[in-house]
Structure 1
Amino acid sequence: MSEYSPPSGDIVVLHEDSDLLVVDKPAGLLSVPGKGAALADCLLSRLEAAFPTVRLVHRLDRDTSGVMVFGLTAHAQRHLGAQFEARKTKKTYVARVAGRLAPKSGEVDLPLIVDWPNRPRQMVCHDNGKPALTGWKVMKASDAESRVRLFPHTGRSHQLRVHMLALGHPILGDELYAPETAAQYPRMMLHAEELRLSHPESGRGMSFRQPAPF
């Protein structure tokens, strides 16, 4: 992985009420602090400065951008966390992947496990991996690359990145799984475009969307 050089600038707030905070996480910024002072700057710490009661619910990889939700109360954090755990949230990502992905839509059903000698890499493992399922739909494609929407039905670490690699169409700009493409792109081409969930107090269905910046 490249040296950590998080982006500067304000965090874009997509929604705020007494229970929820929804933001657009920039690519290159950790969701939570890593080990050591050099990795202390993260989305959570930046939000804590403006929203002292903010509580983590889920994460996005450092180099993934897009919609993230936080709780602003202990109850909201628990309620939202339970929705993620029970797979009641609906997540949509946009990615640019290498080559022409065919057919136009489909699913990847491959179990994943951490690749211990090469962590944080994950890998497909049919013997000991945890179930992981991803749907895809091609938006447009050329021989060089495809623009796709990805629909994770499970939430395994690096799931979308490993599943696309397993299909033979790695996400462009991914330093970990497609390092040969990293120099050609300013960032990893993966963005959390939309998140659907139920409000922890009212139960009302809500949808938050931020178009991909690439």
Structure 2
Amino acid sequence: MALDVGRVRAISIDLDDTLWPIWPTIAKAEQVLLHWLTLHAPATARLFANTEALRAIRNQMVALRPDLVHDLSALRLESIRLALQQAGDEPALAEPAFDVFFDQRQRVELFDDAHDTLAFLSARYPVVAVSNGNADVHRVGIGHYFKASISAKDFGVPKPDVRIFHAAAQAAQVQPHEVLHVGDDATADAQGALAAGMQAVWLNTAGHDWPNPERPHATVASLTHLCRLLG
């Protein structure tokens, strides 16, 4: 099935790994968190002496609190609290520790073509951010490109649940079949959008094979390629 550009009246777009690489951002935020713990919760810093240990207890929290799977901020906060408890430090330090992590997490480094792409898209369509992550488009500095931003944390369910895609269409004041969704995750983004009745473009910068039976309407290797597709 080919992309029907004439049908597109709005764009929904993922954030992490679509507009910026997420893992360098998270790694830096974990380093800043570890430095804060060294100063304010030294027992925790000794017990969780590197970012790999901090990430491991955060991943453990996914199993411990499946009810928070849609809320990455809450998962990170509770993982910090658990680390403090295990080390014998004050659990109430979790909130200020998380604030330090979260502030650094917003300091993303956008892909080179992200600003130009967002300017191109927003000049032509209402653009809605749809993310399972906890980036704040306004704190990142790109909020002016978006008509709305919908996060799994605030909405209550993550992609690929069709309800979050339908909420994006509603925010753009169009029908789902009039939305083109763009994202890097073959399942959460592309498959979710297809199931919601949208057109889908898969951003595949690494040249991976498409893993699912139903194919997206288009695959692009870069955001610049997306603009050419819609131009």
TM-score normalised per structure 2:
0.27
Computing the radius of gyration from Cα coordinates, the structure with the larger value is 2
More helix by share: 2
TM-score normalised per structure 1:
0.29
Higher RCO (CA 8 Å, separation ≥ 6 residues):
2
